[in-house]
């Protein structure tokens, strides 16, 4: 079973296994286990057909105002895009670095994006799978790409320590991927970091609101970089239904509170369930766990897939290896099925 670039390949795996998607239990995609907000689903069910008969309203003032109000940022620093991956490519094109420093292990989309933008990736190995800012040597590059909380380890760098480190390194371009920062909002670098030149902060709407089939994401940048990103971006980067769904999701504050409460309950419970099997997941501040396993992670994933359970393999992740799998956070009944299967195969 070839390792995919991304998790969440539920349609491809259903075809490969001969199952319907409804029979698959997906622990490979880091999505809110509560599913999309009801307001988003209602919007899609009742959408006016005329919405697809006209070009999208890319100005979308109400969505832009909502995002900027949430993060305390100015409108001219916001860039909308068709998901976090497309905005990463766009940020690299706008900053045009020659050598990009990337802590490893890293999300596999990052090396792909760096290569596509004709830059050289300079790996920064993490000691014991932890990023230590004090020992971070950035002299070999002109841009740094960070993920906070980190994917795949779940490590969270504190806002205070990271801000001090950034102040001490004013000359390097910076991209910070905060795709999972909804679960640790007090540690976000927004909006203060936007006064720094050559700086981009990537955010996600599809992960926290569990709607990856609707490709919409956003980034904030210093005004000059944001303008450059807008100049390089294609026309109508986000569809009208996606724009409206994003706005509906943002306004559902009840969903946010329920999601954060579930996360606070489910993550420690999941860690305890895995430890009951003699396993030691890495401490995480994100809705996933990186799990060392005493067997080939690829072979284990294949056996689990045969039972309709999908997990994320790590053999081809830069800086990691086949002795790990990554598990998305899900609710108790789903976790019980996974724990039972792991107990059998381990």
pLDDT given at position 19? 67
Which range, of 23-32, 192-201, 273-282, averages the lowest pLDDT? Answer: 23-32
DSSP 25-61: EE-SS---TT-S-HHHHHHHHT--GGGGSS---TT-H
pLDDT given at position 18? 64
Mind listing the domains of the chain with CATH numbers? 10-37+253-345 (3.90.1150.10), 55-250 (3.40.640.10)
Residue 92, classed as helix, strand or coil, is helix
What confidence tens digit (pLDDT) does each residue in 198-245 have? 999 999 999 999 999 999 999 999 999 999 999 999 999 999 999 999
pLDDT given at position 10? 61
Mean pLDDT of the chain: 93
Q: How far is CA 20 from CA 25, 150, 206, 312, 338, in A?
A: 11, 32, 23, 19, 19
Residue 256, classed as helix, strand or coil, is helix
* Span 103-129, average pLDDT: 93
Task: Answer yes or no: is pLDDT of 14 > 80.
Answer: no
What confidence tens digit (pLDDT) does each residue in 121-163 have? 999 999 999 999 989 999 999 999 999 999 999 999 999 999 9
Its pTM stands at 0.93
Residue 124, classed as helix, strand or coil, is strand
pLDDT given at position 8? 53
pLDDT given at position 319? 82
* Span 36-63, average pLDDT: 93
């Amino acid at each position: 079973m070839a390792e995919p670039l991304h998790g969440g390949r539920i349609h491809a795996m259903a075809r490969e296994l001969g199952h319907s998607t409804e029979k698959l239990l997906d622990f490979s995609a880091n999505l809110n286990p509560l599913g999309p907000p009801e307001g988003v689903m209602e919007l899609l069910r009742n959408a006016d057909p005329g919405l697809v008969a006209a070009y999208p309203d890319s100005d979308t003032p109400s969505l832009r105002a909502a995002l900027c109000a949430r993060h305390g940022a100015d409108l001219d620093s916001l860039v909308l895009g068709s998901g976090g991956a497309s905005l990463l490519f766009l940020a690299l094109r706008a900053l045009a670095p020659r050598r990009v420093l990337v802590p490893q292990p890293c999300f596999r989309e990052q090396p792909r994006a760096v290569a596509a933008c004709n830059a050289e990736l300079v790996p920064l190995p993490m000691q014991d799978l932890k990023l230590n800012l004090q020992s971070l040597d950035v002299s070999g590059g002109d841009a740094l790409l960070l993920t906070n909380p980190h994917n795949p380890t779940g490590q969270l760098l504190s806002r205070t320590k990271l801000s001090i480190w950034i102040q001490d390194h004013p000359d390097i371009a910076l991209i910070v991927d905060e795709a999972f920062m909804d679960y640790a909002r007090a540690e976000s670098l927004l909006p203060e970091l936007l006064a720094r030149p050559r700086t981009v902060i990537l955010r996600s709407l599809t992960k926290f609101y569990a709607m990856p089939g609707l490709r919409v994401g956003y980034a904030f940048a210093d005004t000059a970089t944001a303008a450059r990103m807008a100049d390089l971006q294609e026309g109508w980067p986000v569809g009208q239904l996606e724009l409206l769904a994003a706005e509906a999701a943002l306004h559902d504050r009840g969903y946010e509170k329920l999601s954060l409460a579930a996360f606070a309950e489910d993550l420690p419970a999941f860690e305890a369930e895995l430890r009951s099997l003699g396993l030691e997941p890495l401490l995480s501040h994100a809705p996933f766990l990186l799990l060392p396993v005493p067997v080939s992670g690829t072979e284990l994933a294949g056996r689990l897939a045969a039972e309709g359970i999908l997990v994320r393999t790590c053999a081809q992740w830069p800086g990691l290896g086949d002795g790990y799998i990554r598990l998305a956070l899900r609710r108790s009944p789903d976790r019980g099925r996974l724990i039972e299967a792991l107990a059998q195969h381990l």
